[in-house]
Structures are given as structure tokens and as C-alpha cells.
Structure 1
Amino acid sequence: MFHKYILVCILLFAFIIRVYGINWDQNQHLHPDERFLTMVVGAQKIPPSLSVYLDTAHSKLNPNNIGFSFYVYGMFPLVLIKYLVVFLRLDDYNNITLVGRAISALFDCGIIFFIYALTLQFEKHLQFDFRIKYVAAFLYSVMVLPIQQAHFFTVDTFVTFFMLGTTYFALRYYYDRKLWNLIVCGIFLGLGVASKINAIYVIPIVLAFLLPQNKKELLRAENLFHYILKVLFFTFVSYIFLRFFDPYLFQSNNFFIPTINPLFLKNILELQALSNPTVWFPPGVQWITKTKILFPLINLAVFGVGIVTFILAIFGAKDLLNKHRKFEVWLLGLWVLGIFVYLSMQFTMTMRYYYILYPFLAISAGYFLTTLVIPNLFRNLIITLVLLWPLSFMAIYTRPHSRVTASEWMYQNIPNGAVLAQEHWDDSLPVPLPNQNKTYNTVQMGVFGQDTPEKWIEINKTLATADYIIFTSNRGYGSIGSVPERFPVMSKFYTDLFAEKLQFKKIKEFTSYPTLPSCYMLHVACFMFDDQWSEEAFTVYDHPRVTIFKKL
């Protein structure tokens, strides 16, 4: 009887830790992607009719028509949030972000439900232990990357939810051949692509699960014809929902003309062109020296999943593939491996691109932890070790954002009118705070430009007038310092500055590291995990290191 409430408890627990600290940046909008999406939603206007909504050229929901010509995401998440904030009368800059984060948390809890449902299918058809579905759901609920992404108003939770839902309904169709499963599968893929284009990664899974369970039957012309019909029907359903929920992906509002919007294609090509080691694009500098496969694997294992859970997942995958030599198990296993390798061979290997792999790692880890024959004492010890990393990470949501704390200190300790030198590709400090009337003169240092004499003439002018240097994250020195051959002078500048060989001295540093739960619960100083060596995006949004130098 109690089993019926386990999933509810897991979902409730997951939602609580995903909305805990939901205003983690104290309304300062310190995540650039969030900031962009919030500005788009704020500028959107609800169309007066369905025909106007579907009109790419005239709808005021289309970012391209309201001043945002560069837009590469799907429209479904933004349209959903826009209608929701208007209905709730929360259509303002701060509340759009907070509502977006809350809905992001809900969608991530939806991922947990699909992990449970997917594992339940394996329980019915592959005789999985009934406990696996609960353990898998719980393990995902405490994975750090999903917790972090659920705190952000971005499209990633939406697309991952729909990708996993597509997989689930494709698997159900594979088992029971009921048409409604195929229809819902098509709906989910359409909504997934309407959230972000990379939802197409799950199409091979769908095409494989549309095959008959006896693959030899496909050799018959009649069965091959039926397979093609099913693929066409699935494509039609996906297309209808994609057209309706992301109409601006297409050039016209004519459902019978599926021509892609040329501006969207242009934007995608521009984005791809920036993901190139030969381009001097600031966010790309960090990737120039990163090792394919190894770097994303370390980030996934150490920061995203947690080392203990990752080890469980690896052993679980081995056992699953050995003990359940079924088409569906091997298909999903090879797909996970294939997606990981494909993404890890790209120039940009940011952690959130691997988001869709986390549910499958949770199922694999849950399988191994449940079937592992060990005393309960050791099993409980493993669970405790699993929980250490996510609970430590949650510490960052128990305290003010490091940039806010740094700003408070600056207002109290830096004199009015001081000149602050700051990097041009990062947020400047101090952020505006209530009851603070001091003003400062901020001058930008173009640190990511090529190390030309002209660049250094400008930087030296800036340093000559600056009273303080403010680094609001490791974005500049962390990236540039990794490629001294490309930035020889800039790299040496950072090295000398931190070694206090220049005319500036480090006077203050603000961090918000993951901390052991007992420490932040008791408000005592103890072990903190310095995670600044992770991928840049893991730290620079919600817990960056802020460093302040003062001219001697």
C-alpha cells in the first residue's frame, strides 16, 4: 500500500529542492541566457487571433518581429511562459524569470515521472525488480546538473522532458502496438523540436521502436510498406504539433509549405560558425585546449552526476547489457553511448548538452544499486555518499549570490566616484542594491581581443586611470590563461596580477563553493569544495568567484 506514495514523495522532494532558493540571484538576472529569454518574453505581445499567432511575418510573439533578429531556440517554452505570466498578472521583468524557473522545475519533475514510467515498462516486460523504478527516480532527483538546470529559466528542461517522453511512448508502442502511443509519441517529438532543435536526436530511437519485434518480418514487402506508413503517420503528427507550437520556425503560415524560416537557418549557421577554434569568440576560448571525450566525461561524472552515482551507472550498464540481451536495452545503451561520443567530438562540449543522458544514467545506476547483493548497512552507506555531493551543492542556494555579497562590500568599502576596471565579456559590479547611493566610473578592458599593440595601448590607458580591478568570475583569466600561445601578453598580465607583481594588490575574494551539509546547516566554517576547475558554465552563473584588486 505504501508503494503508491513513494513516487509522490520523490516528486515532492525533487520539486522542493528545485525551487529552494529559486531567487538565487536576488532579482539581479545574472544568467545571460535567462536574461535574454526574459527580455524576449517581456517584449512579446499576445496576438489578437489564431491567424495572427500563426503568421511568421506579423505575430508579436515571434522574436524576429520585436527586435530580436538572432534567436535559435524553439518557441514553445516562451509562448507557454508568456501566456502564463499574463494570466497570472506577473508580466514584469523579475516575475517572468521567477515563473520561468518554477515551470522549469516542474518540467524537470516531469522527467522524474518518465524515468519511473520507463522503468515500469521494463519491470513489466523484462522482469525488473519493482524497486528499481523508485531508486532510479530518486537518484535522478538528486543529480546536481538537473537540480541546477531546474533553477534556470532556459529551454533545456523543456526539451529534455519532451525527448524522454518521446522515448517512453515509442517504447510503449514497441511493446503494445497501440496507435495512441504512436500519436502521443509524435506529439512529444513535435513539442520537443518546438522547444529546441536538438530534440531530433531521439528520432533514431523512434524509428527503431517502430520496427516489428521480429525484425525478419520487415523483409516482407507488406510489412515494409506498413512500416513506412507508420513512419509517415508519426512524422505527420509531429509536424502538425511543431507547426502549431513553433510556427515561426517556418517561412509562411501555410501548413502545406514546410519551408524553414531562412532567418532561423541563418542564425543556426552563424552559431555553428562561432563554435570553431579559429574564431575569436569569447565563450569559445575555453574549449580550444579541452580534450575530446575526457573533459566532458570528467565533468559529467564529477560535477553533473556525482562520482558515486556515475560508478553505479557504469556497473549498472554492464549488468543490464549482460543480463537483458534484448533489442530495446541494447538500442538505448548504444544510443546513449553514441550521443555521448558525438557530442564529445564537437568543439563545444558544455555539460547541459548531455542533459538527456542523465535519465538513462539514473535508470542504470538504480538497477545496479537495487540488484547489488550487499548488506543493507553498505547500501545505506552508498546512498549517504550519493547524497553528499547534491546536498553540498545545495549550499549555494542557502546564501546570497557571490556577486551580490561582493557588491554589498564594494558599496561599504570603495569610495564614491572610484574608477573600476572590469572585463568586457562579463557582468559588471556592483549590482544595484536598495539604499545604496554611491556611483562608480566603470571602464571596460577588452581582454578577449587579439594581443595587438592597439589592444594594449587601450588596456594600459584603462589601468592607468583605474583605482580597482574587478573580476566578477573566472571567465576571462580562466579561458585566456589556458591558451597562452594565443594570448601571450594577456596571459602574462593575469599571471603577474595574481602574483601581485603589478601595481595592484588583491584585497578581497568572494566565493560560494559547495559545502558539506552539516557546515551550512550549523553555520560553521569547514570543508568547501572548490569547483572552479569545472566547465565554465557550471560556476559562472549561480556561484562565480569574484576577485577585487586595489591599486597600490
Structure 2
Amino acid sequence: MFFTKKNFVLLIILFLAGLLRFYNLTWGFPFFFNPDERNMATAITELRLPGDLSQIPLCLIGQISPISSVGDGDCNLNPHFFAYGQFPLYLAFVSDQAFKLVLGSISSVLSTNFPSAIFWLRFWSAVFSILTVLMVYLITRKLFTNSNSHGFPRISSQISTDPRKSVPLSVFIPPLLAAFTPGLIQSAHFGTTESILTFLFLFTIFLSLKLFDPKKHSLIKFALLNSLVLGLAVGIKVSSIVFTAIPLFSALFYCFETLEQKPLYLKRIVIFLFFAILLLFLTGLFFAVSSPYNLIDWTSFKSAVFGYESDVARGTIDVFYTRQFINTTPIVFQLQKIFPYALGWPIFISGILGFIWINFQLILDKLQRHNPSISLRVKDNLSLWILDFGFIFYFLPNSFLFVKWTRFMTPVLPIFSIFSAFFLFQMYNFFINLSCLIQKSKIKNQNYNSNLKTNVRFKFLVVVLSFEFCVLSFIPGIAYLSIYSNPDTRIQASEWIYENIPTYDEILSETANVYDLPLPTTENLEPRTKNYNVIPFNFYDLDENPELFDQLINNLTKSDYILVPSRRIFANYLRLPEKYPLVNKYYNLLFSGKLGFEEVKKISSFSQFSIFNFPSKISDEILQGKQFSIPDESAEETWSVFDHPVVRIYKKSKSFTKYEYEFLFKQ
């Protein structure tokens, strides 16, 4: 029966996850600031099919050619974009056409405009993010059923009265934490591939755990299901090939540890090799089906993925948008610049402690096998091995890449919710056991009933503290919604410029932005009549190109305002003064006021949450109507610059001549 108490609790969690992910999904319209999202949407606009459904088969046959050009005829399925595969592009395109069919607005040529492409990319990103929360629940439940609960306690009454189907309420804590994880909420609001890949990554872990169900499972079926998931993942992003390590690791354990008939060692090797070959072959097959132009247009695919994209990831070419990673330390960077913001401090700290605790437990398990005198409560840690291996095998290779963008860590964010809950459960068990020991030590000297009441109170206190921890873990995710509740900071900055800066004033800005500020329209989409001479200066190459310095001096003498649209340049270059001395000098002079400009406006949209309606007697200074912000400008660059960059505007307060500016830079 579907509508059980267990499913009701799960539906509530998924509903909350949906609210958090679909909330203001059209943020930023009509401006779209995420470059990956824009590139994917542009590729979708190139796709076309004939409106006559009978012509589609001929169209598909004709598309088996790498030379089909953009804009040629009424049929094109080659997106001519290979940073990512075709599956998410086709999914958004087909969704748009199906929606138009329902509305009865099908035209002679099936195509998708840019805003619609953005919407459907975000729609499916949000859907897969919700499915990720569901997958966290399924994985947690498998950990509970496969391995004698792995420390997941029955914090309260069980959902079912049937002991064979009993599910402790504690298994709902990890998906609840995942539902409120800020990084997953952000990725759901971007029409990119991270949400899909995160879901597929967890799906491979779930299938691997399912292999060790008490019921007997076929390795062939296991290979088929995993290859479908892996084929889609690799088709979307080739680097997802690392996902294959999880089913291979699981199959290796299955062949050498759990086969009931205990065949000869050589036979076990043959079985595993057969599985590995079958898995890789079927993965390649589904890879080709999900993203066919990766093979049809092999030259373009190879050039993009194994050329430019690979060079950027490894840092073998210098591009302006990866300079934040110069001289960064793997793992330390993620621990400092990504996880505290993408997870929130409660889940981050408890997740790290849970990860350490799990690995300590696994090491003890290994020692116990060689030394029976070592006692360990958990009898079977195989499922924890699979989860731990999947996390480590994905985390380490991506941590040691030169580029360390937040999105590279998105697939492991939901696993932190499991680690965090594991730590919470272990602490719960520890304090409950401690209360029992205290009770036993005092039972001889005290009344039994009084002692029992004390124990019950202690357990209640532990439950309350656990509940408070969960509430604290929800705050970063709830606060992150404020970013999508307010107008984008670039829109706010544009409005301020139009209202406060006179027409025809000179504004010195920075180049290489998706949009130059001020944006051409207001919030009501009405064109502005004011005109400004905005100079998008190339600060990225200031130290390499001597001509740019002369241009900068000339621009400073005539500029009335300076606009800093994000932290992209100054935050990355100020930590490298020896490599970029001129850029460092410029920003140090600007921020200190010595450049002759003073800050007149700083527009930010950090995560915020409010505590309302508390009596002023409680705390006039802290609680009464106050908003608490979570500053995150020091996080990894892409965490903030795509949806909530801090915009700074400086007004000239003192004029200098060209020679005076040159003297300032030489000091």
C-alpha cells in the first residue's frame, strides 16, 4: 500500500525539497548570468525538427552526418556544443515541444527560444535535485537494512508495527538534511548538469548497495542497470567515467566475499572480468545512444573535451576565469572555500566528524578480522565500505584538479547529510549508553523509580538537542532562498545607476562579464533613456600588456565613477601581488581611497534569515526584527558571482592629472 505512514513522512520531505528548489525558478529573467546555463540554452536553440511528425524519421536518418550545419533547413539535432553531452539538451527541447503540443501552439518547424530553453533546463535540474533527496533516503534505508543498522537508532517509535518492515524515524534525517542543503538548492536553480549528475552518482551507489540485499541478485541485471545510469552520466559529462569505479568495486566484493557457492579463485576472477567487460560495453552503448553526436561529430567532440576543456581543468592553459586556483592546496581549498558555504556549518562540521567516525569504524572492523580480541558492535560494514569508497573515489580526483569549482563537489554534497546523520546517531547512542551506565552505578544508592525518571529525562534532553541540531542545519538552506527572493544585485545596481548617476557620465568598469552594467532595462522591462559611456577595461591583462597601463591612466582621468561588478578580479589578484603588481596597486589604491574615488554604494544579497515577533524584553539588540546575514564573498568564486555578486560603485571625489596618477602607481 502506497499511502503508509512511512511514505507520508517521505512525501512531506520531498514536498519541502520541491518548495526549496522550485521557489522563484525564473530568477533573473530576462537576464541569465550563468555562462554554462547560457551555453547550453544557446545549443538548444539550434535544434530543430519538422512540425510534420511523419517527416521526423527522415530527419533523424539525415542527421547521421557530422557535417550538418547550424541553420541549414528544418532539421538539426547537432547542438555544435560538446562541453556537455546531448541528453540534457534533448530533454529540455522535447519538454518544450511537448508543452507546446499541450497548448496547441505547434508550428511548422519545432524549435525552442532562448528563455524557454533556460526554463526547461532549470525545471529538470530542480526535478533531479528532488530525486536526489529521494535517493538519499533510499541509500540510508539500505545502509540500515543491509548492515544491522550501522548505528542508525530508533530515535522514536517505528513507522510500522510489522518488525519485518519497520523503519526507524532516524532514516528520514539524512534526506531532510539534504533537502535543506544550500549547494543543492543553488544547483537546482541553475540550468546546468550538476543536479542530474548528482542524482546519477547516488543512483550508482544505491544499485551497488542493492546488490547485497538478502535476496539473491544477478550480476547481469546489476550490470544492465548500472550501465544505463553510467551511460547517461558519461554521455552528459565524460569525467563521470569515475562513477564506474563504484559498481566495479561492489562487484569485486560480491565475487570474492559473498558468492554462496564459493567457486574456485580462478572462477571468481573470470566472473568479475566478465561483469567488468559487460558493464563497460553496455555503458559505451548507452553513452552513444544518449549523446550520439559525441561519436557522429567525433572531431568536434574530441577537440572540445580532450582539448580545451581538459587543458582548462588541468591548468595547462592560462584563462582569466581560473586564476583563483593559482597556488591553491587540494582538499584544503574545498574545506575552506566550498563545503562551509555549500553545506552550511552544522552539516559541514558534523559531516566531517561522521566521515572520520565511519572510517575509524571500518579500520576497527579490519583489525577485528585479524585480531578477534577487538570488539566491534557492527557486524557487517560492507555497505559502509561502498558508501565510503564512492565518496573518496569521486572526491579525491576532483579535489586534485587545477580547477576546483564548487560544481565539481556537488555530487558529494548529499553524502555529507548521511555522514552528518551518522555522527548525530552515534552521539545519540553514546549519551544514551552513558545515561544507562550512570543509572546502573547509582541504582544501589537511590530509589529505582526516581532513577528511572532521571534516565527518561536524560533521553528526552538528548532528543531535544538532536532536534535543535537539525533545526540549525535547516537555517543555511532557508536563508539561501533570500537570494532568489530579492532582485539580482546587478539589477539593483542598474536601478541605482539610472537613478543616481547623471546622463553621459563616464563609468570605468571591468571586462569579461556576461552583461555589462548598467543593464539595458529596468525591473519592469522598460527601456531607459539615459546613456552612459561605460568603459569595460581589461584588468586581466594589465600586467602583461604595457599599452593597457596608459589606457588605464587616461580612463582614470576622465572617469566619473568606477564600477566593480563582482569579486572576480580583485579577490583573485590581490593574493598574488608578485605576479600581478599593477592590478594589486590599482585595487589597493581604490579601496584605500587614495585613487580619488570613494565608495558610494555597495549592493549585496547574502543569505539572510529573520527572527520575527519576539518580545523586545528577550533581546532588543539580537532578536527583535533583526536579519542575520551569512557573508560568502570569500567562498569559491562561482558560488557567488553567478547569482549574488557584490557590486561596488565608487564616485570620483578628487581629480588627479595623468602624471599624478602615474606617480601614485609608482609609489
Q: TM-score, normalised by structure 2?
A: 0.76
Matches within 5 A, 1:244-393: 244-251=289-296, 261-268=298-305, 269-275=307-313, 279-321=317-359, 322=361, 323=378, 326-371=381-426, 372-373=428-429, 375-393=462-480
CA distance in 2, matches of 1:523, 1:108: 35
Change (3 A) 1:111 1:459: same
Provide, for residues 428-452 of structure 1, a one-character-per-residue CA deviation record: whole Å limited to 9, x for no partner.
1111222322222222211000514
Tell me if the contact between 1:395 and 1:517 (Cα under 8 Å) persists in the aligned partners.
no
In the alignment, which residue of structure 2 is the partner of 1:454? 547
Matches within 5 A, 1:380-459: 380-426=467-513, 427-433=515-521, 434-435=525-526, 436-451=528-543, 452-459=545-552
Change (3 A) 1:2 1:70: closer
Tell me if the contact between 2:255 and 2:271 (Cα under 8 Å) persists in the aligned partners.
no
CA distance in 2, matches of 1:186, 1:459: 55
Change (3 A) 1:514 1:285: same
Q: Which runs of 5+ in 1 are unaligned?
A: 253-260
CA distance in 2, matches of 1:520, 1:229: 65
Pick the aligned partner of 1:182 from 223, 240, 250.
223
CA distance in 2, matches of 1:137, 1:59: 45
Q: 1:224 is aligned with what amino acid?
A: I
CA distance in 2, matches of 1:119, 1:526: 35
CA distance in 2, matches of 1:413, 1:76: 46
Provide, for residues 480-539 of structure 1, a one-character-per-residue CA deviation record: whole Å limited to 9, x for no partner.
212111110111101101111113222111110111233799995533222111111011
Count of matched residue pairs: 542
Cα distance, 1:275 vs. partner? 4.2
Specify the SS of the correspondent of 1:410: helix
In the alignment, which residue of structure 2 is the partner of 1:549? 650
Specify the SS of the correspondent of 1:348: coil
CA distance in 1, matches of 2:613, 2:539: 36
In the alignment, which residue of structure 2 is the partner of 1:137? 175
Which has the larger displacement, 321-330 or 525-534? 321-330
CA distance in 1, matches of 2:134, 2:240: 19
Cα distance, 1:186 vs. partner? 1.1
CA distance in 2, matches of 1:546, 1:51: 50
Provide, for residues 26-78 of structure 1, a one-character-per-residue CA deviation record: whole Å limited to 9, x for no partner.
3211112111211111222237333245544438699xx89976631111111
CA distance in 2, matches of 1:110, 1:341: 25
CA distance in 2, matches of 1:324, 1:314: 23
Change (3 A) 1:222 1:61: farther
Pick the aligned partner of 2:609 from 508, 516, 528.
516
Specify the SS of the correspondent of 1:501: coil
Matches within 5 A, 1:40-189: 40-46=43-49, 48-49=56-57, 50-58=60-68, 71-89=82-100, 91-128=112-149, 129=152, 130-175=168-213, 176-178=216-218, 179-189=220-230
Tell me if the contact between 2:65 and 2:296 (Cα under 8 Å) persists in the aligned partners.
no
Pick the aligned partner of 1:193 from 219, 234, 238.
234
Which has the larger displacement, 479-488 or 159-168? 159-168
Cα distance, 1:142 vs. partner? 0.9
Q: 1:350 is aligned with what amino acid?
A: W
Q: 2:179 is aligned with what amino acid?
A: S
Q: Which runs of 5+ in 2 are unaligned?
A: 51-55, 101-110, 153-167, 362-377, 432-461, 615-622, 654-667
Cα distance, 1:218 vs. partner? 7.4
Cα distance, 1:292 vs. partner? 2.3
Tell me if the contact between 1:519 and 1:526 (Cα under 8 Å) persists in the aligned partners.
no
Q: 1:85 is aligned with what amino acid?
A: D
Cα distance, 1:204 vs. partner? 1.1
Which has the larger displacement, 153-162 or 513-522? 513-522
Specify the SS of the correspondent of 1:507: strand
Specify the SS of the correspondent of 2:650: strand
Query: Aligned-residue CA RMSD in angstroms?
Result: 2.7
CA distance in 2, matches of 1:324, 1:480: 53
In the alignment, which residue of structure 2 is the partner of 1:221? 266
Cα distance, 1:476 vs. partner? 1.3
In the alignment, which residue of structure 2 is the partner of 1:467? 560
Tell me if the contact between 1:21 and 1:398 (Cα under 8 Å) persists in the aligned partners.
yes
Pick the aligned partner of 1:32 from 20, 35, 47.
35
Change (3 A) 1:51 1:422: same
Specify the SS of the correspondent of 1:475: coil
Q: TM-score, normalised by structure 1?
A: 0.91
Tell me if the contact between 1:7 and 1:134 (Cα under 8 Å) persists in the aligned partners.
yes
Change (3 A) 1:213 1:146: same
CA distance in 1, matches of 2:280, 2:313: 30
Tell me if the contact between 1:308 and 1:386 (Cα under 8 Å) persists in the aligned partners.
yes
Q: Does residue 1:503 correspond to 2:596, yes or no?
A: yes
Tell me if the contact between 1:173 and 1:182 (Cα under 8 Å) persists in the aligned partners.
no
Change (3 A) 1:508 1:36: same
Cα distance, 1:166 vs. partner? 2.2
Tell me if the contact between 2:611 and 2:626 (Cα under 8 Å) persists in the aligned partners.
no
CA distance in 2, matches of 1:120, 1:11: 16
Which has the larger displacement, 422-431 or 223-232? 223-232
Cα distance, 1:337 vs. partner? 2.6
CA distance in 1, matches of 2:212, 2:487: 49
Cα distance, 1:82 vs. partner? 1.0
Tell me if the contact between 2:47 and 2:112 (Cα under 8 Å) persists in the aligned partners.
no
CA distance in 2, matches of 1:324, 1:475: 51
Change (3 A) 1:219 1:45: farther
Cα distance, 1:212 vs. partner? 5.3
Pick the aligned partner of 2:24 from 17, 21, 25.
21
Provide, for residues 221-244 of structure 1, a one-character-per-residue CA deviation record: whole Å limited to 9, x for no partner.
333222222222222322222111
Cα distance, 1:366 vs. partner? 2.1
CA distance in 2, matches of 1:544, 1:379: 35
Tell me if the contact between 1:249 and 1:264 (Cα under 8 Å) persists in the aligned partners.
yes
In the alignment, which residue of structure 2 is the partner of 1:528? 629
Tell me if the contact between 2:542 and 2:583 (Cα under 8 Å) persists in the aligned partners.
no
CA distance in 1, matches of 2:565, 2:16: 33
Tell me if the contact between 2:482 and 2:607 (Cα under 8 Å) persists in the aligned partners.
yes
